[in-house]
Amino acid sequence: MSIVNLLNALPGACAQGLIWGIMAIGVYLTYRILDLADLTVDGTMCTGGAVCIFMMLNGYNVWVALFVAFLAGMLAGMVTGILHTFLGIPAILAGILTQLGLYSVNLRILGNKSNQAINVDKYDLLISLRFIKDVPFYRNTILIVAVITVILIAILYWFFGTELGCSIRATGSNVNMSRAQGINTDFNKVLGLMISNGIVAFASGLYAQYQGFADVNAGRGAIVIGLAAVIIGQVVFGRIHANFACKLLFVSLGGIIYYLVLQVVMWFGLNSNDLKLISALVVATFLAIPHLKETYFKGIGKKGGVSRA
């Protein structure tokens, strides 16, 4: 692949990174705020797209389709939350169970097909792969997804500043202390999982439009990409003292960086079949950077060289 081809591919990588950045914000809410390992997203990342495409094929407006996809994701998160809180199943196993059940549900939504396409010429899609270049700026996919991301971050920043939002954050910070203060921690966990998976499903609806189809395997490995964006955002921008809104923005930027790194790696001529392996290596690398810096490079750069024991 020539450098020209790489440059031509970068706008598409940025668009995908922004979409997956929205998904990563949903992952961030459970991973960082609630301190739960939620694997439901691998199923929800297909559910939202399947619902969105199904609704649009049946004549519904794109915004209605995305809203229903959001509700479907919230329902999936509620199932995981109930399994975890009221039935006592560990969060990671509850997510796996919901994800497993969603595979069959997603097939039913898609009409027992593995994928369902939607024609960009017949339906008024909000975003599309074809809306990256040679379109009016207000139809550009990158701009639209960027605006949606900013609005989403603003809503979440407002919500988690309310009494209910603060109680959810307190639940993730210290469950026992929150319970001692009279906070219903089980309700907060369920609500947090619902919001998280609703955002993931919303991102899935956008991604299905971008691709032009919904696929039953679309969410496979989604949790890896979501965690990658969270970790990359933390590693790259970790030194910046930021409030909650900026941290969410860094997660979104982490999604862009992730896809740009993948695009550059693929530019070196690696086989596309190795994409999952490359993804795992990229995530492992960014996960290891904080530990390596703390262990081996802690004193480098300080006055006097390496710190003495």
Does the domain at 3-296 match CATH 2.60.40? Answer given as no
Q: What is the pLDDT of residue 307?
A: 44
Q: Mean pLDDT across the stretch 171-190?
A: 92
8-state DSSP, 130: G
DSSP 3-state percent helix, strand, coil across the chain (nearest 5)? 75, 0, 25
Q: How many helices (H) and strands (E) does the chain have?
A: 11, 2
CB burial of 279-292 (b: ≥16 within 10 Å; e: otherwise) equals beebbeebeebeee
> Tokens in use for 57?
């094929």
Q: What is the pLDDT of residues 59-94, one digit of tens each?
A: 899 999 999 999 999 999 999 999 999 999 999 999
With bands split at pLDDT 50, 70 and 90, how would you rate the model's confidence at 300?
low
Q: What is the pLDDT of residue 309?
A: 37
| pLDDT exceeds 50 at position 8 | yes
Report CA dihedral (196, 199, 201, 203) to the nearest 10 degrees: -140
Q: What is the pLDDT of residue 308?
A: 39
- Domain boundary assignment for the chain: 3-296
116 close to 217: Cβ distance less than 8 angstroms: no
Q: How many residues does the chain have?
A: 309
Q: What is the pLDDT of residues 105-127, one digit of tens each?
A: 999 999 888 889 998 888 889 99
CB atoms within 10 A of CB 111: 10
Q: What is the pLDDT of residues 182-218, one digit of tens each?
A: 899 999 999 999 999 999 999 999 999 999 999 998 8
